[in-house]
Structure 1
Amino acid sequence: MSTFQILPPPTCKGMTVLDTEAFRTVTPVVAVMIKNPRMLSKLSKECPPNDLLQVKKFPTVFEENGKRFLVLSTRFKEISDTANGLDPKTYELLEEAGYEFFKTEIVTTYKYWTSEEVLRAVLPDDLSDVPNSFSMVGHIAHLNLRDQFLPYKHLIGQVIIDKNPSIKTVVRKLDSINTTFRTFDMEVIAGEELFEVEQAESGCRFQFDFRKVYWNSRLHTEHERLVKLFGKGKAICDPFSGVGPFAIPAAKHDNLVFASDLNPESYKAMVKNSKLNKVNPEMLHCYNEDAREFIKTSIKKLHELRKQTPTIVLPPKGKSKKKNVEQPQKFDVPEYYSHYVMNLPASAIEFLDAFRGIYKDVQFTSPPPQPLAHVHCFHKFDPHLPEPTKGEVYEAICSRISDSMGYKISPSDLTLHDVRRVAPSKDMYEASFLVPNAVLYDEV
């Protein structure tokens, strides 16, 4: 069985400014002009594969100036090499077709190789971990570079652009995400300074300035998972909404969503994205408030809406089977939230004290069910010790949640979803639990 060969790029160690001409290579090969062109197909199929050109991205049969010819394996550099190197079966087929050997060459250029192959040819051998992975946000590629790669940052960025046609801008993160608004300083290392992006996710379009808001494309699966979990016909509270990756899809799935973000730019983008995605304005209420205060006043906001508009009439989405007319739908505003989604993994747990007493002094027509809180959080562990067991992680996160709420919950009260590993000794989880009535009514 033959295996396609990939021609290695020339070694360009130490290059810091990309020179694509340096990657041009010429490989001498032997070709065969076939006197009976009708035999070309039979030759390419029946000749032993190891006798023919088996190089990725190059055909076995070439065409030039209206003539087609067969190219032999790269192990044949000279015509004389064929005398003892070709399989007898190949010679037999060539004799049947009539042939004439001649020397030619195949040319490979910078376009031939992948970004990883180019970077391995350029970076010093002691830098074995090629920085070839990145996150994409619209047309922007975002990567983190360790210090040893900084002398090559512009070359790395240019290679990423060249090998990914949809990318126009490459940025690297200059610091950690530790600002109030979860943003970070970034440097453009290749391409244009275009930060206004559009990202598709969960059947929605999101537009925003990547410099001014928080967005993580690696969380798209988590966004979709929770939105699906919400179902339809519920009231959802999102105190850390960002530009709307939970709020907008949830509202489009006929949920009543109250969403807020402290970052004014995120709030503006969420309002814009709500209109962009034609979300019913009665089903998504956007705020620019502190998350703690937003949670504390969330029930009040919901009841004020219920008092003003107890029933929301939704536009028709289809035709009745009995009547060939479009039928509107009615949505009765709930008295309570079914879900609170708290997607601020660095500190969401610290905001759980805001649930203390939010049901106290609130008039419900009947005792409301406990809301389900979905709290994203990080869990770090010592890389020099054995990785913690699932039980140990449950215990640690339960303890943090209990300390913040001022009410002890047990691991059995918690559902823990492993979202992703963000660093060698740091994982992201989503902890789901029913907020205890003792907390909601401040009876702790």
Structure 2
Amino acid sequence: MEDDSSDPMSLFRPPIIRSAGAILDRSLFTKRVPIAAARVLDVKNISRFRAQLEKSKDALRLERLINVRPDPDPALASKGGKCLLLKPEVKPEVPETWSTSLQEAVRAEELKVIPYTLALDYDYWTYHDVMTALLPEEAQEEIPVGFAIVGHVAHLNLREEYLPYKKLIAEVLVDKNAAVRTVINKTDDVGTHSEYRTFGYEVLAGEDDMNVEIREGECTFRFDYSKVYWNSRLQTEHKRLVDMFNPGEVVCDVMAGVGPFACPAGKKGVFVWANDLNPDSYASLKDAITRNKISNFVRPFCSDGHKFIQAAADDLLSLTATHQNTITIPAKRSRKALPTDPIPPPTILTIPQTINHFVMNLPATAIDFLGSFTGLYEGHEALFEPHTQTRLPMIHVHCFSTKSDDNVRETIAICKRISENLEFEIRPGDPEVVVHEVRDVAPKKRMFCASFRLPPEVAFRKRRVSS
């Protein structure tokens, strides 16, 4: 795509450098653009004239570019002389191209319109600018921009047509993202490489260092990105569910990973039974619990999800039966407290005996785990309404489906799959049945979260023992 000479702003596009060998030569991006500048004869007036010329639309307005510059005359610049860059339509030798405001300032001998050569180089251009200049025209229909950043790692999932330029793309990504030190490209689908949702990858730029640290939901996580599952694009979904949980409630996170739901929930005073089958995820989850000082609220487990669903419910009932369902949290002294001030009493919290929410974030297969809720509270009907005010837990199960504009077809299909696994009908449109669109994962594939309350017909049925 060559510069369009009819568009004055085309002057500020990068030079076209088709890289047949997929090699990055940064020096080729230097460009000298002839424009005009307004020399401010008294530097004390620089702010006033900047505002005036921006209002009259004479000033050059470009993203990432400061339009106040040292005077191009070295002698004047050494004395603090400044000038204001002007848009390319303003010609130094053609006063007719100047606005009335600019002409008046020149006549008053406060400004002087002079030629100016604006130097732009590789550091000025954005990632998209550079890739537009480098990639062949046939590869520019959709320049790769869909990458995830996890700590210092940029994770690409390049389409086949971009593979010849993968090293070039990675090199520019590192240049244009200060936080990125390593760029990888996924070489197979999530779950193909491992049952723990990890994936095969190749390093395109930087070191093969996958030990990352990230911060989300006011919590810090450290993990080996090559050994655990993490998706930065789910940050909104993590927050959406955590916002539903109230302090003092109990959440059972069946496929917790390194804790993106569990740890922020624990931070707000929610009790969380957090489980993951992957030993590396479990180790990172324990680290996050310690690192974020939430061990009073979050308990980690490494177990099969089918068994954990029932075990977590039984564990809470057992804690209540054995009077081990209280937690004592020592009070913190105020910074203003004197040594002689009495120590405040500790806070004593009681863990409820039943679970309020189940989170099942394993979209490929989570619905298949729903059979384990059969008989979850068999024989404990008296703990729930109408005998008490306690309600049966909400279940939030993530899944994949097709995609459409209104999601009606998908909602019906998801509820049908849930019903088959529960052996009880969950109907779209019921007050507590919500199928929430999470994100698109492919051109014809979408991730959803189906939320519904566990039916008493399922919860109090004869328990199905998980194998």
TM-score bracket, normalised by the shorter chain, equals 0.7 to 0.9
Which one of the candidate residues 99, 102, 111 is aligned to 2:123?
Answer: 111
| Structure 1 equivalent of residue 360 of structure 2 | 342
Post-superposition offset of 1:66: 2.9
Structure-2 change in CA distance of 1:256 and 1:109 (3 Å): same
Which one of the candidate residues 128, 133, 144 is aligned to 1:131?
Answer: 144
TM-score by length of 2: 0.82
Deviates further, 20-29 or 112-121: 20-29
Amino acid at match of 2:94: T
Is it true that 1:270 corresponds to 2:292 in the alignment? no
Q: 1:169–1:190: 8 Å Cα contact kept in structure 2?
A: yes
| Structure 1 equivalent of residue 32 of structure 2 | 26
Which one of the candidate residues 233, 236, 242 is aligned to 1:218?
Answer: 233
Post-superposition offset of 1:296: 2.7
| Structure 2 equivalent of residue 405 of structure 1 | 422
Structure 2 CA distance for aligned equivalents of residues 133 and 95 of structure 1: 52
Deviates further, 306-315 or 229-238: 306-315
Post-superposition offset of 1:36: 6.1
Is it true that 1:120 corresponds to 2:132 in the alignment? yes
Structure 2 CA distance for aligned equivalents of residues 361 and 46 of structure 1: 79
Post-superposition offset of 1:177: 0.8
Structure-2 change in CA distance of 1:301 and 1:354 (3 Å): same
Post-superposition offset of 1:133: 3.1
Structure-2 change in CA distance of 1:6 and 1:233 (3 Å): farther
Structure 2 CA distance for aligned equivalents of residues 119 and 150 of structure 1: 14
- Render the CA deviation track for 1:183-229: whole Å, top value 9, x for unaligned: 11122212232211111111111111111100111111211221121
Structure 1 CA distance for aligned equivalents of residues 225 and 248 of structure 2: 32
How many pairs align? 431
Post-superposition offset of 1:311: 1.9
Q: 1:36–1:97: 8 Å Cα contact kept in structure 2?
A: no
Percentage of matched positions with identical amino acids: 35
Which one of the candidate residues 2, 5, 8 is aligned to 2:13?
Answer: 8
Q: 1:335–1:364: 8 Å Cα contact kept in structure 2?
A: no
Post-superposition offset of 1:72: 5.2
Is it true that 1:171 corresponds to 2:177 in the alignment? no
Q: 1:115–1:160: 8 Å Cα contact kept in structure 2?
A: yes
Amino acid at match of 2:437: D
Structure 2 CA distance for aligned equivalents of residues 245 and 191 of structure 1: 27
Secondary structure at the counterpart of residue 158 of structure 1: helix
Secondary structure at the counterpart of residue 265 of structure 1: helix
Q: Spell out the pairing of 1:349-368 with structure 2 (5 A cutoff).
A: 349-360=367-378
Q: 2:332–2:344: 8 Å Cα contact kept in structure 1?
A: yes
Deviates further, 287-296 or 132-141: 132-141
TM-score by length of 1: 0.86
Structure 2 CA distance for aligned equivalents of residues 177 and 203 of structure 1: 27
- Render the CA deviation track for 1:263-298: whole Å, top value 9, x for unaligned: 0000000001100001134x3221111101111322
Post-superposition offset of 1:99: 7.9
Which one of the candidate residues 405, 411, 421 is aligned to 1:394?
Answer: 411
Structure-2 change in CA distance of 1:254 and 1:364 (3 Å): farther
Post-superposition offset of 1:54: 5.0
Q: Spell out the pairing of 1:22-421 with structure 2 (5 A cutoff).
A: 22-30=28-36, 53-54=60-61, 56=63, 57-63=65-71, 64-66=77-79, 68=81, 70=83, 73-74=87-88, 81-82=93-94, 85-86=97-98, 90=102, 93-97=105-109, 103-126=115-138, 127-178=140-191, 179-281=194-296, 283-306=297-320, 307=322, 309-316=324-331, 326-360=344-378, 369-381=391-403, 387=404, 389-411=406-428, 412=430, 414-421=433-440
Amino acid at match of 1:201: E
| Structure 2 equivalent of residue 424 of structure 1 | 443
Q: 1:54–1:60: 8 Å Cα contact kept in structure 2?
A: no
Is it true that 1:433 corresponds to 2:452 in the alignment? yes
Q: 1:345–1:378: 8 Å Cα contact kept in structure 2?
A: yes
Q: 1:4–1:55: 8 Å Cα contact kept in structure 2?
A: no
Amino acid at match of 1:68: G
Secondary structure at the counterpart of residue 296 of structure 1: helix
Structure 2 CA distance for aligned equivalents of residues 172 and 406 of structure 1: 42
Q: 1:257–1:285: 8 Å Cα contact kept in structure 2?
A: yes
Secondary structure at the counterpart of residue 270 of structure 1: helix
Amino acid at match of 1:403: E
